[in-house]
Structure 1
Amino acid sequence: MGILVSIDNGGTLTDVCALKRAGDEPGELFFGKTLTTPHDLSQCFMDALKVLSERIYGEADLQRLASEIEYIRYSTTQGTNALVQRKGPRLGVIAGSQADIDALKSGEEEADLFAAVVADRTSIIDMSGDDESVRRRVAETVNDLTARGANRVIVSFSGDNAKAEEDRFRKLIYREFPRHLLGAVPLIFGTEMSTTEDRVKRTWAAMLNSFLHPAMEHFLYNAEDQLRALRTRNPLLIFRNDGGSTRVARTVALNTYSSGPRGGVEGALTLLGHYGIKNAVSMDIGGTTTDIAVFSDNGVREQEFGLVEGIPVPFRLADMHSVGAGGSTMMSTADGKVKVGPESAGAAPGPACFGRGGTSPTFTDVLLLSGFIDPASYFGGQLALDAERAKKAVMEKVAEPLGLSLEDALTAISDAYHDKIADAMRPEVEAHPDMVLLAFGGAGPISGCGVADRLGLKRVLVPRLSAVFSAFGIGFSDIADSFVEVLNGTDAAAIQTAAGELLKQARRGMKAEGFDLDNCELSSALVTGEGEDRQSTPIDIQNINGAQPAAGTRLVLTVTRPIAHFSLKQGEPDGTQPATADGARAGIFGEMPLYKVDNFKPGDTGDGPAIVEDELFTCAVPEGWSFSVTANGDIDLRKA
């Protein structure tokens, strides 16, 4: 038994959540936040652990915390940040024809990112001929790209012989430039990244992974070294965008992209299952964006080809989309109306009320001036807010340009903000009007009912750990990995051969994670087609007699090593009783009763208008809505 820790590194804030277990008891949850330090993410990683140790022990004691930690699961924005900021290595691309190069730039998103990370560093090579002549061409091509500034090279060929040609290129180039030499340029091959027949998708996967790899490698190994210095029991686990976790050395950089929002999905799946809710839509509102996901029949909707910066890649990802609306989203005017974002003030300079140099009004400034948040207790009292700076920003940037009073400007901003989020969710909700809205993130609960009203939804669920819900969700992840082989035949013998190879790979992989394959859970499937034509048939690789797979079938082996999870409190409240208000809060729109989450008991109920306040989030309960507190401490809001 020990402490389970999960950390979600967001664009503005870094969240930490931990379960301290003892014996068979459910354990005690601790959580906190710290400001993200984009210049050095290892700093906010360690700051989060420091905050956690203060919560658990009453003082900062990283050494003691490290000695009690069982596992740390971690999601990072490093990859997302690198792509958004276009900060990474200069890539070079080698292909078999100019048409193959051009196909990589066929869309607007593809052309834009290609220009940023590859530019003109491309080469065409003819792989026909004897080894000596091809070896010379290979060496000349790589030398040409490095001379033009490429410090990482992607090699990707098309056609049925793509893998064979890439294998030949690899053999010849490493004969010319052995990998142990300082001048050896890192190479990545398209068929190494994916078995998909779609060359464009697998090439983009290779390019994106190459672009993300150096920064990820430096940062994550630095974080792991700091943990090792503290003598933690187990290696750092990196939470991936497919819901699994692996240690740093076995993590593919591309699989970290948008992994934080996936943590919210894992938490949502657990919570929705706990309450028996089949159809739901979630909104995870942080400082910069609102991440939206759709759930049906106890699962999350996924894309066969996930999108990375709008570019399809050959990996299944949760079908999530983001809207530029969050607590730090900057407000302005355009065409006589309020304009919401997409620019964000982030943590630095942050909203005007932070007093750190920000001059544009944000939704946080609006909430402060409207009386929904307390300037003295915001962010657990760690960050005092300046209402005068917020007022000045709203008046100068919105109220005066539109000829509005302060009150009307606040209403206009709030309406525009909630409209933007609701409009992004409307297509999903119109098809399923019985959906439940799951509102989380630091800025999610304050907007839950406002967005639900615009969508005609009657129920909103706010998790008790809403402010750190993605970090909480990461705590339900297991150590997992998948292995894929394309069958070289259409009979049971081909499956047997592939299964033998996959089991070898899986055994090596899980040994690197510190586990024996015999202690893991295995599942396998025969997969044909891609995209909408994809079909997956479960198969027992120990019993494959009579199987007749189609040509090109892929055998997929998924290996899972369950590890300890966070937990939810079971059962129903013993009864219901009116919640006791902890006072009232006066705002520009009047006075409302105030309820403190820390003082709630299971079964507490109340009616709006009201404010429900946690240390790290605020929930607005408008008139016509009521709330009840579940046995797990979650807030269940219903429209009359």
Structure 2
Amino acid sequence: MALQINIDNGGTLTDICIIMDDTVKKTKVLTTPYDLSKCFFEGLQKASGVIYGEQNVARLLEEVDLIRYSTTQGTNAICERKGPRLGLIIDAKARDLPVRLAEHDPEVFEALVGDRVVFLDTAAVTGAEADIEVVKAINQLTAAGANRLVVSFGGGEFLDLETRFKKVVLRKYPRHLLGAVPVLYGSDLTTDRDVVRRTWTALINSFLHPAMEAFLFNAENRLRDYRTKNPLLIFRNDGDASRVAKTVAIKTYSSGPRGGMEGMKTFARLYNMPDVVAIDVGGTTTDIGQCLDGKVAEVQRGHVEGISVSFPLCEIMSAGAGGSSIFKVVNKRIVIGPESVGAVPGPACFGRGGKEATITDASLLSGLFDPKSFFGGGMGLDLDRAATAVSLAIAQPLGISLDDALLQMEHAYEDKIAVELHRFTKLSKDTVMLAFGGAGPLNACGVAEKAGIDRVAVPKLAAVFSAFGIGACDISQRYALVLEERSDAALAAALENLKVKASRDMFAEGFGPGEYEVEAWLVGEVDGAADRVLPLGDSTAFPAELASVKSVELELRAVKSLRRAGDKKASFVQGQPAQADGTRNVLTRGQGRIDVPVYRLAQLNPGDHAAGPAILEEDYFTCRVLDGWSFVISDAGDILLNRKA
């Protein structure tokens, strides 16, 4: 039996997907943001209970073949601006660089760097007074409150300058000293010639690094104590995975949502859907992406919060609205997020000390949740605390009743996600909205109505869909370097250099020569146009069409393929009317509070169908079927919601 555990760590909940041959099971635990390793191992404990009927982590870790991990912590950290204070050292000739950096996102630049910038004459770095000048620059930034530094020089000699700077830092601030300030150099991560992209890449990586490093190495060390036979694999935002020691922090940004995008590709292929947009709604963010003709958009120079960086990234937009996002009234208007109560203290209804109003509290008060069965029956919900939070935060400031406040919260929440859908994706009459994440199906019909979408699909694994999606990833390492000389000989030498690095790293991943594949390509930077990408194949001849471009970068990917080609197909065909499992009194938008049927997904058969208003429920998600919508169950157990013409 092949046993895989996929773990997707979110801001509020951590999802666990267990794959045993062709059987898929799931569970969830609350995220513990103060110590992510705690919820990581609690997830393994619950997974062992699902598999064996009792908690036995030692047995699980002895038998498991692969543990893959993804996280939204990086996404949430930037969205909420939570992280270290960075200091930036740049070339004195580049006085406009902070302004150019801030143009990408003034708020993020202010939160990460602000005025903690030192302009250093590069001549001082190469001169006799280099030690003094470097120390002065570092001391100035640490005195201003910076606890991590980024050094990023421009011009053609940036690599040499940063290497010289690094040697001074190692002499003056040896790493074994407790007071040694962490310094990251732009050239450590990329040789991208664009100084703005390279600097932003270093800043974001430095911002995310401390928390990710502390957790991942702690988790890996605890796994070693159990003598796990295979290392922990970190799922990255490029769609592949690697060991902790071979993963940079920026590659964990949006890795959880990227898992959802991989799941969306599988779902679109299963049902032959050419145009799918995804809303992956977690506790802190809603992540939005699109799959056209079986492909998700990936750009050579990706974007983090709209900021261009040096690495290729999947095009995913994260909106600061989720199940635990804080609602408040500003100037008589409801404002949502980006702040979130997370899992601790959580929404007010969790009874863990939270006092802020969230959509989870509103949904409970509207009657959508059963307080006794929520979260698989593993968490009781407190109606009184939820009512107090919504009354104080929304109803009283707006001077309206509690029920009106609940309806306005729902509309504001759906409006925000619908606006982001239109801003980030291209919708058509054929678009199907795929709603997943623990909070994704709940308001999916309302979001779709406001966005002008008539079909919504909800996977049966919606609650752990991103964790399910990362199960298809390969193990890989990527490399890049700038070609200074444009000739066949230079290309052949550079390619051999990267292949040697790849062989070492893939050996460390557990794969020897012949057990992995290598693919290489050239990226030519063209002024005023998109980068030109040319696969090399078996050739080492420098292509003539790149002879006159601004710069040329050689990129290489070494990959051990783990993906299995999926040729299964499924469909939605109406059969028998669905049988309800009772009723629930729910606040509706046109009829007030009425009793509506509740359908349990586990009790429905392929072809079962019914019309709204209704509730579709599973252990870890609730789907509200609005009036004017109907649902049908596929032969694979997934849900399709249709809006009446």
Q: Does the CA-based 8 Å contact 1:100-1:158 persist in structure 2?
A: no
The AA in structure 2 aligned to 1:617 is F
Whole-Å separation in 2 of the counterparts to 1:145 and 1:405: 52
Greater shift, 608-617 or 560-569, is seen at 560-569
Instruction: Among all aligned residue pairs of Structure 1 and Structure 2, give the percentage whose two residues are the same amino acid.
Output: 45
**Distance apart, 1:523 and its partner CA:** 2.0
Question: What amino acid does structure 2 have at the position aligned with 1:166?
Answer: E
Q: Over aligned residue pairs, what C-alpha RMSD do you find?
A: 3.0
Q: Which residue of 2 aligns with 1:30?
A: 25
Check whether the contact 1:290–1:324 (CA below 8 A) recurs between aligned residues: yes
Q: Distance in 1 between matches of 2:4 and 2:578?
A: 32
Distance 2:325 2:172 in 1: 52
1:630 Cα deviation from its structure 2 partner: 1.8
Q: Following the alignment from structure 1 to structure 2, what is the Cα–Cα distance between the partners of residues 317 and 624?
A: 38
Indicate conservation of the 8 Å contact 2:321/2:413, yes or no: yes
Deviation sequence 1:507-543 (CA, Å, 0-9, x none):
1111121112421122221111168421111121x32
Change in 2 beyond 3 A, CA 1:600/1:324 = same
Q: Comparing 256-265 with 42-51, which one deviates more in the overlay?
A: 256-265
Task: Name the counterpart of 1:585.
Answer: 584
Displacement of 1:503 in angstroms is 0.8
State yes or no: 1:352 paired with 2:356. Answer: no
Equivalent residue number for residue 512 of structure 2: 516
In structure 1, how many angstroms separate the alpha carbons of the residues matched to 2:483 and 2:508? 26
The Cα of 1:166 is off from its aligned counterpart by 2.6
User: Partners of 2:367 and 2:110 in 1: how far apart?
Assistant: 47
Q: In structure 2, the residue corresponding to 1:578 is in which secondary structure?
A: coil
Query: 1:452-509: CA deviations, max 9, x gaps?
Result: 1222212111011111111111112111221112223223222212211111111111
Aligned to 1:627: 631
The 1:107/1:428 distance shift into structure 2, 3 A limit, reads: closer
User: Aligned letter for 2:19?
Assistant: L
Aligned residue number for residue 389 of structure 1: 385
Which residue number in structure 1 is paired with residue 303 of structure 2? 307
* Contact 2:81-2:108 within 8 A present in 1 as well: no
2:463 aligns to what? Answer: 467
Point out the more displaced range, 323-332 or 108-117: 108-117
Could you say which residue in structure 1 is the equivalent of 2:600? 596
CA distance in 1, matches of 2:107, 2:416: 28
Which residue in the other structure is 2:14 paired with?
14
1:432 CA drift (Å): 2.3
Residues 94 and 153 in structure 1, CA contact (< 8 A), matched pair in contact too: no
Partner of 2:415: 419
CA gap 1:373/1:153 in 2 versus in 1, 3 angstroms: closer
Gap change, CA 1:418 and 1:95, over 3 Å in 2: same
2:477 aligned residue: 481
Deviations 1:59-111 (A, max 9, x none): 21111111111111112344345544543365452535352664565438457
Q: What residue number does 1:616 align with?
A: 620
Aligned to 2:555: 556
Q: C-alpha deviations, 1:152-184, integer Å up to 9, x for none?
A: 443322112222333344456556666666666
Q: Deviations over 1:310-330 (max 9, x none)?
A: 533212222222323222233
Q: In 2, are the aligned partners of 1:581 and 1:593 still within 8 Å (CA)? A: yes
The 1:364–1:166 alpha-carbon spacing in structure 2 relative to 1, beyond 3 Å, is closer
Report the CA distance shift for 1:503/1:13 in structure 2 as closer, same or farther (over 3 A): same
Distance 1:130 1:315 in 2: 30
Residue-by-residue CA offset, 1:613-634 (whole Å, 9 max, x unaligned)? 0000011222332222223221
Cα 1:300/1:362, change in 2 over 3 Å: same
CA-CA distance at 1:637 after TM superposition = 1.5
In 2, are the aligned partners of 1:92 and 1:151 still within 8 Å (CA)?
no
How far apart are 1:298 and its partner, in Å? 1.9
Out of 518, 522, 536, the residue aligned to residue 533 of structure 2 is 536
Check if 1:57 corresponds to 2:52: yes
> CA separation in 2, counterparts of 1:79 and 1:428?
20
Q: How does 1:173-322 map to 2 (within 5 A)?
A: 174=170, 185-322=181-318
How far did 1:256 drift?
1.1
Q: Report what 1:79 is aligned to.
A: 74
Matches of 1:111 and 1:402 in 2, distance apart? 29
Aligned partners of 2:305 and 2:317 also within 8 Å: no
Asked if 1 retains the 8 angstrom alpha-carbon contact of 2:235 and 2:252, the reply is: yes
Identify if the C-alpha distance between structure 1 residues 313 and 453 changes in structure 2 by more than 3 Å, giving closer, same or farther.
same
Aligned to 2:643: 639
In structure 2, relative to structure 1, the CA distance for the partners of 1:603 and 1:341 (3 Å cut) is same
Deviations for 1:529-583, whole angstroms, at most 9, x for unmatched residues?
A: 168421111121x323473342522121112112366989645589833322222
- Partners of 1:147 and 1:414 lie apart in 2 by 47
User: Deviation digits for residues 410-448 of structure 1, max 9, x if unmatched?
Assistant: 322222221221122134566523211010111111111
**For structure 1, which segment, 186-195 or 457-466, has the greater mean C-alpha deviation from structure 2 after superposition?**
186-195
SS at match of 1:8: strand
Structure 1 residues 319 and 326, CA gap change in structure 2 (3 angstroms): same
TM-superposed CA distance for 1:11, in Å, is 0.8
TM-score of the two chains, using structure 2 as the length reference: 0.90
Contiguous gaps of at least 5 residues in structure 2: 588-592
Which sections of structure 1, spanning at least 5 residues, go unmatched? none
The whole-number CA distance in structure 2 between the counterparts of 1:111 and 1:398 is 27
CA contact (8 A) 2:279 2:288 kept: yes
Pairing 1:494–2:493 present: no
Letter in 2 for 1:597: L
- C-alpha offsets along residues 224-258 of structure 1, whole Å, 9 cap, x if unaligned? 01111112111111111221111000010111122
Residue 336 (structure 1) shift: 4.1
Which one-letter code corresponds to 1:3 in the other structure? L
CA contact (8 A) 2:76 2:284 kept: no
For the 8 Å contact 1:104–1:204, the answer to whether it is kept is no
The 5 Å alignment of 1:88-99 reads 88=84, 91=87, 93-97=89-93, 99=95
Contact conserved, 2:101 with 2:196, CA < 8 A, in 1?
no
Aligned length: 634
The answer to whether the 8 Å contact 1:14/1:44 transfers is: yes
Q: Which amino acid aligns with 1:447?
A: N
Q: CA deviation at 1:265?
A: 1.2
Alpha-carbon distance in 2 for matches of 1:398, 1:256: 36
Counterparts of 2:426 and 2:489 in 1: how far apart (Å)? 49
Give the deviation of 1:205 after TM superposition: 1.7
Task: Check the 8 A contact 2:572/2:607 in 1, yes or no.
Answer: yes
CA contact (8 A) 1:82 1:88 kept: no
Measure the CA separation in 1 of the matches of 2:184 and 2:405.
Answer: 53
What is the Cα deviation at residue 216 of structure 1? 2.1
Which range moves more in the overlay, 186-195 or 284-293?
186-195
Q: Deviations over 1:382-437 (max 9, x none)?
A: 11112233334334443344443443333222222212211221345665232110
Q: Greater CA deviation, 188-197 or 390-399?
A: 390-399
The one-letter amino acid of 1:578's match is P
**Judging changes above 3 Å, is the alpha-carbon distance between structure 1 residues 571 and 286 closer, same or farther for their aligned structure 2 residues?**
closer
What secondary structure does 2:278 align onto? strand
Residues 105 and 596 (structure 1 numbering): CA distance in 2 closer, same or farther, change over 3 Å? Answer: same
Which residue number in structure 2 is paired with residue 67 of structure 1? 62
Secondary structure of the equivalent of 2:580?
coil
